[in-house]
Every structure is written in structure tokens, then in C-alpha cells.
């Protein structure tokens, strides 16, 4: 069928001019993609023990290399590859952010001193839970090293996602970023059933939302006759087209993107997936995917549908309010710390949407700044979570965290600090980020939204504080969890994240300047 179509097409046009591709401007993407391929080859040809050593180094080096490429490219403002990819300041800002978070997450994944044997990644994902081999697999030194190339592939997708200037490329990027994540979610070493359930749910719901997205792209094409964002934007400006298609396109693409950022009412996968996934992967998803999805969301809503602002703003308001309320209120009832942070992630998606709803330059700046602050804090928080363990893996049940402030004050203190940052207490990055988006929203005439956001912040503060209460004001358990003290990499990650949280709270000006420059130069069309 496809071949026949192509034939017909060729018969009509005969000549195809080959597009020119600026490989140098695409270098961050190409580096990461190449590293992913090399990673697959390493997994194919190297022995088990060498793989374990090479893979994290390779992935890390790839991220650093791409980061350098991003830095070199700064100031570039162009549409590349026949309108498929856009390289502009916001794109580079978000690509850089994704790479930094990926680098931190790789440190977490590479941690092998947490458990008696390997890190958080399963030895052999195919072993059925509860079968004879599963106990051996739990303590085996093996690791499913495919996790690293998968992560790198996912990062490739994320970087393309924020850079795509074409709705179809964006869909491809969405799949590239999602498919590896579905797999990664199922690779937890312990609580295999939970992990597999997470992977399955994530896959099914993710595929569902992708379908919505591509359907929306089809409608956008039906409306504008093109899937390029600039052309869609031009078509929005002209009259005489079928607006029904346009609204359907906005709605359906919106559903796909809202799913990825975990906005209500498309959030239901978040708690299960966050809980079931290996904690380093959860950290990676929480930080990286959020940046990528918001990057794409901002581009779609600011560039392609920017002219439709007054039509989508009310919808965005509704989604933002619902997301904040759902996140903050449902988090109150959680007993599992990872689930709680999942609902917190939902609430934060809501706060970020407040910045998007501002629909002005300040909103773009605020959202980008917020994404950075949130990512650092959340990666550090998940790093800390992975340190508190019982014989059965992580002590994820909240009741096991009782009195931790008495038994290991440094860890509990760090975690409290991170929680306070998530709650948005001044002198933490969380506050600066919230301030940036709320300021933009008030400037953009979204004051009621800010009021709701503040009330939700207060509700959210309650459940963060509850954890602090448990850690500091309760007597320690007799059979309390163990805090592991040797994992250098996890310590480093938690330390970097907490330090960034403090620095961005006390001296946010440099990053704000960076975000400001990026936002005011704007998206390329």
C-alpha cells in the first residue's frame, strides 16, 4: 500500500530535491543517538563484567559530550532539516537541562553499593517473579545493562521532543522517549511484580495517549495542510478554514501532551509508575520527562497554536486547577513515599501549567526556570529515598521513616530540606521557581489561577510537613530501616541536587538571566 502510494507520488513529481541537513547544528542529538547505538553494540559484544563498567561511563561521557555541543551551539536560531527540527534558545536551554538531569540519573542507575549485590536494576528482567530463579536473580551480581542504552535512547527522544518543529517529528520523538521508559519502568530489582505492573500500565496508557496525539496531528494536517508548526500557526491566522478540525487538533494533541506531563485528568499512571519503577528511573522520569514534555507543550501552544491563545487558555486554566487540586489533595492520603512524591509531581505539573497559562515571555522564562529547580530537587529526593532500606529493598512505606531524624540526622535533614523546597519555602529553589511562574501568571492576568495555586501550595505543604513530622517528632522504630552509608554515587547525586536547590534559592540570578535570555529570544518559527 505504502509502496504503491510512493510510486504514484513519484509518477507525479518525478524529481525530489534532497534536503540539506546541517549536521553540526544537530550535533547534540547525533552525539547522544550515536552513543545509544554504541551502547547497544557494547551490550552485544562485551562480556557481562565489562559491560557493567563500560556502559555507565559511555552514557555519562555521551551526555557530557552532548552538553558541550549544546553549549557551543548557544545563540543559534534556525529551523533545520527541512523544517523538521528547530534550534533556538529555549530548545538549547531545555536540551541542556535534560542532559544535566540525565547525567545525574546515570549516577543513580550506576550505583551498585546500595544492595548486597547490584544496584536498583534487575539482574534478569525475563525471570518470572516468584519462580525458582527469582531469588537468585535478586542477589545476583548481574545487571540488565540494557538500561543504559535505553536511557540514552530516551534522552535522544526527549531532546528531539523539545526541538521538533514539526508535529510528525514530535510524534516520533514522543515514541522514542516513551518506549525505552516503558521498558525501564519494568526493571526494578526488587518488588518485581509491582515493577512489571508499572511497565504494563505505563505502556498501555502511554500508547493510548500517543494515539490521541497522532490523531490530533492528523486533524492539524486536515486543517492547515501541513504538520509544520509555522505553517499551522499561519493557517490559524487566516480565515475560511474549518475551525472544527483545528479545535479537535488542539484538544487531541493537548491530551497527548497532558498525559506526558502527568496533568489531571490524564495523571492516573503517575503514582503506579513512579512507585513501581526502579527509583533511579523514577528520578529520571520525574525530572527529564517533565522538562521534555513541557518543552514540547510550550512549543506547541506558543508557536503552533499561539494565535489561538484566547481559545485554549480557559481549557489550560481548567486543567491546571484540576491538576493542582488532584495532586495536592490525593497526596494527603498516601502511605508510600514514592507515591506521595508522584502526586507531588502532579501538583508541580499544575504549578508549571500556571506558568504556561500566563502565555507571555515571563511565563516561558518562569516555566523554564521552574523545570530546572524542580528537576534538581526531585532527583535528589529520589536519591535520598533509595538510601533508606530494609532487608526487602527500599523502605518506601511512610511509617518506616519514623524517627529517622533521630537516628540519621544528616539524611533526614537533607530530605527535609528537599521537601521544604518542594513545598516552596523561601531560600530554596522551589520558592524562587514558584515565584517566577506566579509572577508571570499575575502579569498575564491569571490572578485567580495564582490564588488557587497558592491554596494548593498550602495543602501540599501539609503532606511534605507530615513526613518531616514523622522523621523528627516521632520515636524511632525498634525494627527501623537501615540507612546505607557507602554509596558514593548516590551521595554525590543527592548532594549535587540539594546544593543546586540551595544555590538556586539563594542566588538564582545567573540561571534567571540564562532563562531570561532564552525566553526573550523566543521560539524560532
Partner 1 sequence: MNTVPWLTIMLLVPAVGAVVVGFLPRRRATLAKQLTLAITLVVLVLAVLATVAYEPKRAGFQFAQHHSWISTFGISYSVGADGISLVLMLLAAVLLPVVVLSSWDEVDGPEPGGDGLAAPAGGGRGGATPAGPAGGVGAGGGVATGGVATGGVATGGVEGGGGGTAVLVAAPPAPPAVGLGEPVPARGTEARGQRSVPAFFALLLALETGMIGVFAATDVFLFYVFFEAMLIPMYFLIGSYGPVKEQAQRSYAAVKFLVYSLLGGLLMLAAVIGLYVVSAQHLAHGTFDFATLRQLEITPGVQKLLFLGFFVAFAIKAPLFPFHTWLPDAGAQAPTGAAVLLVGVLDKVGTFGLIRYCIPLFPDAADYFAPMVLALAVIGIFYGALLAIGQRDMKRLVSYTSLAHFGFIALGTFAFTSQAGTGAVLYMVNHGLSTGLLFLVVGFLVARRGTRDVAAYGGLAKITPILAGVFLIAGLSSLALPGTNSFVSEFLVLVGTFTVNKALAIVATTGIVLAAIYILYLYQRTMTGPVTHEENRALLDLSVREKIVVAPMVALIIGLGVYPKPIIDIIRPSVTATFADIGKHDPAPTHPAAAQPGGHS
Partner 2 sequence: MLSNYVPILVLLVIATLFAVGSVVAGMLVGPRRFNRAKIDAYECGIEPSPAPAGPQRFPVKYYNTAMLFIVFDIEIIFLFPWALAFDSLAVFGLGAMALFMATIFVAYAYEWRRGGLEWD
Query: Interface with partner 2 by CB under 8 A: which residues?
Result: 2-3, 6-7, 10, 14-19, 37, 40-41, 43-45, 126-131, 222, 241-242
Cα separation, 77 vs 97, in Å, equals 18
How far is the first Cα of the chain from the last one, in angstroms, to the nearest whole number? 34
Nearest to 81 by CA among 222, 235, 218, 228: 228
- Provide, rounded to whole angstroms, the least separation between the CB of residue 68 and partner 2: 23
Cα separation, 247 vs 253, in Å, equals 10
- Partner from partner 2, partner 1, none contacting 6, C-beta within 5 to 8 A by type: partner 2
- Partner from partner 1, partner 2, none contacting 238, C-beta within 5 to 8 A by type: none
User: Is the separation of the CB atoms in 440 and 358 below 8 Å?
Assistant: yes
What string of H, E and C letters represents the secondary structure of 175-210? HHHHHHHHHHHCCECCCHHHHHHHHHHHHHHHHHHH
- Provide, rounded to whole angstroms, the least separation between the CB of residue 507 and partner 1: 8
If the CB atoms of residues 40 and 442 are measured against partner 2, the closer one turns out to be 40
Q: Max Cα separation, the chain?
A: 80
CA 414 vs. chain centroid, Å, equals 23
- Provide, rounded to whole angstroms, the least separation between the CB of residue 20 and partner 2: 8
If the CB atoms of residues 224 and 388 are measured against partner 1, the closer one turns out to be 388
- Partner from partner 1, partner 2, none contacting 478, C-beta within 5 to 8 A by type: partner 1
- Partner from partner 1, partner 2, none contacting 17, C-beta within 5 to 8 A by type: partner 2
If the CB atoms of residues 309 and 466 are measured against partner 1, the closer one turns out to be 466
Q: Is the dihedral of CA 87, 88, 94, 99 positive or negative?
A: positive
- Partner from partner 1, partner 2, none contacting 242, C-beta within 5 to 8 A by type: partner 2
Cα separation, 436 vs 508, in Å, equals 11
Where helices occur in 332-444 by DSSP H, the ranges are 337-358, 361-385, 404-407, 409-423, 429-443
- Provide, rounded to whole angstroms, the least separation between the CB of residue 128 and partner 2: 5
Cα separation, 373 vs 497, in Å, equals 9
- Partner from partner 1, partner 2, none contacting 18, C-beta within 5 to 8 A by type: partner 2
Q: How many CB atoms lie within 10 A of CB 428?
A: 25
If the CB atoms of residues 34 and 459 are measured against partner 2, the closer one turns out to be 34
- Provide, rounded to whole angstroms, the least separation between the CB of residue 491 and partner 1: 12
- Provide, rounded to whole angstroms, the least separation between the CB of residue 138 and partner 1: 8
Binding residues (CB under 8 A) for partner 1: these are 113-117, 138-139, 141, 389-392, 403, 405-409, 420, 423, 425-427, 431-432, 435-436, 438-439, 442-443, 447, 450-451, 454-455, 457-458, 461-462, 465-466, 468-469, 472-476, 478-486, 508-509, 512-513, 516
If the CB atoms of residues 73 and 381 are measured against partner 1, the closer one turns out to be 381
- Partner from partner 2, partner 1, none contacting 447, C-beta within 5 to 8 A by type: partner 1
If the CB atoms of residues 25 and 474 are measured against partner 1, the closer one turns out to be 474
User: Is the separation of the CB atoms in 122 and 144 below 8 Å?
Assistant: yes
If the CB atoms of residues 242 and 447 are measured against partner 2, the closer one turns out to be 242
- Provide, rounded to whole angstroms, the least separation between the CB of residue 130 and partner 1: 15
SS3 label, residue 121? strand
If the CB atoms of residues 123 and 160 are measured against partner 1, the closer one turns out to be 123
- Partner from partner 2, partner 1, none contacting 128, C-beta within 5 to 8 A by type: partner 2
- Provide, rounded to whole angstroms, the least separation between the CB of residue 321 and partner 1: 15
- Partner from partner 1, partner 2, none contacting 451, C-beta within 5 to 8 A by type: partner 1
If the CB atoms of residues 7 and 335 are measured against partner 2, the closer one turns out to be 7
If the CB atoms of residues 234 and 443 are measured against partner 1, the closer one turns out to be 443
If the CB atoms of residues 86 and 125 are measured against partner 2, the closer one turns out to be 125
- Provide, rounded to whole angstroms, the least separation between the CB of residue 352 and partner 1: 17
- Partner from partner 2, partner 1, none contacting 19, C-beta within 5 to 8 A by type: partner 2
What is the β-pairing status of strands 388-390 and 393-394?
antiparallel
Which grid coordinates belong to 421?
Answer: 523546597
Range 430-462 burial, b when 16+ CB lie within 10 A, else e: bbbbbbbbbbbbbebebeebbebbeebbebbbe
- Partner from partner 2, partner 1, none contacting 315, C-beta within 5 to 8 A by type: none
- Provide, rounded to whole angstroms, the least separation between the CB of residue 161 and partner 1: 27
Q: What is the DSSP letter of 166?
A: B
Question: What Cα–Cα distance (Å) separates residue 392 from each residue in 113, 114, 297, 386?
Answer: 15, 12, 39, 12
Cβ neighbours of residue 288 closer than 8 Å, sequence gap 6 or more: 98, 101, 102, 105, 154, 155, 158, 375
- Provide, rounded to whole angstroms, the least separation between the CB of residue 465 and partner 1: 6
Task: For the chain, state the CA radius of gyration.
Answer: 23
Helices 309-331 and 243-261, packing angle to 10 deg: 30
Q: If you search the block for the grid coordinates 550505583, which residue do you land on? A: 111
Amino acid at each position: 500500500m505504502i509502496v504503491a502510494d510512493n510510486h504514484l507520488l513519484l509518477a507525479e513529481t518525478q524529481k525530489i530535491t534532497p534536503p540539506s541537513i546541517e549536521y553540526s547544528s544537530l550535533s547534540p542529538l547525533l552525539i547522544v543517538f550515536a552513543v545509544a547505538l554504541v551502547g547497544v553494540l557494547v551490550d552485544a559484544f562485551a562480556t557481562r563484567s565489562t559491560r557493567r563498567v563500560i556502559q555507565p561511563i559511555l552514557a555519562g561521557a555521551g551526555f557530557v559530550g552532548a552538553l558541550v555541543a549544546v553549549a557551543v551551539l548557544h545563540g543559534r536560531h534556525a529551523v533545520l532539516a527541512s523544517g523538521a527540527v528547530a534550534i533556538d534558545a529555549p530548545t538549547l536551554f531545555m536540551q541542556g537541562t535534560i542532559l544535566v538531569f540525565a547525567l545525574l540519573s546515570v549516577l543513580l542507575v550506576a550505583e551498585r553499593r546500595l544492595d548486597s549485590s547490584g544496584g536498583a536494576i534487575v539482574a534478569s528482567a525475563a525471570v518470572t517473579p516468584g519462580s525458582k530463579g527469582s531469588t537468585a536473580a535478586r542477589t545476583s551480581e548481574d545487571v540488565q545493562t540494557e538500561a543504559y542504552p535505553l536511557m540514552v535512547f530516551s534522552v535522544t527522544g526527549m531532546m528531539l521532543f523539545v526541538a521538533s518543529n514539526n508535529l510528525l517529528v514530535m510524534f516520533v520523538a514522543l515514541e522514542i522517549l516513551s518506549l525505552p521508559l516503558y521498558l525501564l519502568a519494568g526493571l526494578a530489582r526488587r518488588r518485581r511484580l509491582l515493577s512489571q505492573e508499572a511497565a504494563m500500565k505505563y505502556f498501555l496508557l502511554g500508547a493510548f495517549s500517543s494515539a490521541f496525539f497522532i490523531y490530533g496531528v492528523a486533524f492539524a494536517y486536515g486543517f492547515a495542510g501541513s504538520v509544520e508548526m509555522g505553517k499551522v500557526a499561519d493557517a490559524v491566522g487566516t480565515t475560511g478554514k474549518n475551525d472544527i478540525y483545528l479545535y479537535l487538533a488542539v484538544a487531541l494533541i493537548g491530551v497527548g501532551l497532558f498525559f506526558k506531563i502527568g496533568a489531571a485528568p490524564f495523571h492516573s499512571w503517575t503514582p503506579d509508575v513512579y512507585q513501581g519503577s526502579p527509583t533511579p528511573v523514577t528520578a529520571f522520569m520525574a525530572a527529564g520527562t517533565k522538562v521534555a514534555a513541557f518543552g514540547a507543550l510550550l512549543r506547541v501552544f506558543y508557536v503552533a497554536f499561539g494565535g489561538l491563545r484566547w481559545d485554549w487558555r480557559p481549557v489550560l486554566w481548567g486543567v491546571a486547577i484540576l491538576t493542582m487540586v488532584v495532586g495536592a489533595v490525593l497526596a494527603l492520603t498516601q502511605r508510600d513515599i514514592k507515591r506521595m512524591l508522584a502526586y507531588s509531581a502532579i501538583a508541580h505539573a499544575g504549578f508549571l501549567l500556571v506558568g504556561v497559562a500566563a502565555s507571555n515571555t515571563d511565563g516561558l522564562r518562569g516555566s523554564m526556570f521552574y523545570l530546572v529547580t524542580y528537576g534538581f530537587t526531585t532527583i535528589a529526593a529520589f536519591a535520598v529515598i533509595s538510601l533508606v532500606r530494609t532487608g526487602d529493598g527500599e523502605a518506601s512505606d511512610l511509617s518506616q521513616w519514623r524517627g529517622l531524624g533521630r537516628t540519621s540526622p544528616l539524611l533526614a535533614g537533607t530530605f527535609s530540606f528537599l521537601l521544604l523546597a518542594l513545598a516552596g519555602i523561601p531560600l530554596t529553589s522551589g520558592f524562587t521557581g514558584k515565584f517566577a511562574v506566579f509572577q508571570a501568571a499575575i502579569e498575564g492576568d491569571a490572578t485567580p489561577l495564582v490564588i488557587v495555586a497558592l491554596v494548593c501550595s498550602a495543602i501540599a505543604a501539609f503532606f511534605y510537613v507530615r513526613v518531616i513530622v514523622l522523621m523528627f517528632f516521632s520515636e524511632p522504630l525498634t525494627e527501623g530501616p537501615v540507612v546505607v552509608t557507602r554509596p558514593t554515587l548516590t551521595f554525590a547525586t543527592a548532594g549535587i541536587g540539594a546544593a543546586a536547590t540551595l544555590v538556586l534559592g539563594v542566588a538564582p540570578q545567573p540561571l534567571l538571566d540564562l532563562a531570561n535570555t532564552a525566553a526573550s529570544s523566543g521560539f524560532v518559527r
